[in-house]
Amino acid sequence: SKETGEDLGIFIKSIIHGGAAYKDGRLCVNDQMIAVNGESLLGRSNHSAMETLRRSMSSEGNARGTIQLVVLRGSKQTSSG
């Protein structure tokens, strides 16, 4: 945030070609993850949000082998010209 100088949240910077998110097709570059498996990431530091995501992806935290994400659609970057 501009107020604290701390990075907040998790934003999708790229999607791996051929990976699960690519194959699913719903996740887009610039989307913001706002919850993972029902746990809100809003207002959390990037570090805290990443820890929550890692825990959700671990075998202990994820018995079903799936992750539920809630994302806020990011703005599309357009080229002018």
Tally the domains of the chain.
1
Q: What is the pLDDT of residues 3-28, one digit of tens each?
A: 555 678 899 999 999 998 899 999 99
Q: What is the pLDDT of residues 35-73, one digit of tens each?
A: 999 999 999 999 999 999 998 888 666 667 788 999 999
Q: Which residues pair with 72 in a beta bridge?
A: 32
Domain membership of residue 3 (yes or no) is no
Domain membership of residue 49 (yes or no) is yes
Provide the domain limits for residue 23: 10-72
Domain membership of residue 47 (yes or no) is yes
- Provide the CATH number for the domain around residue 38: 2.30.42.10
Whole-prediction pTM value?
0.72
Domain membership of residue 39 (yes or no) is yes
Are the CB atoms for 22 and 15 separated by under 8 Å?
A: yes
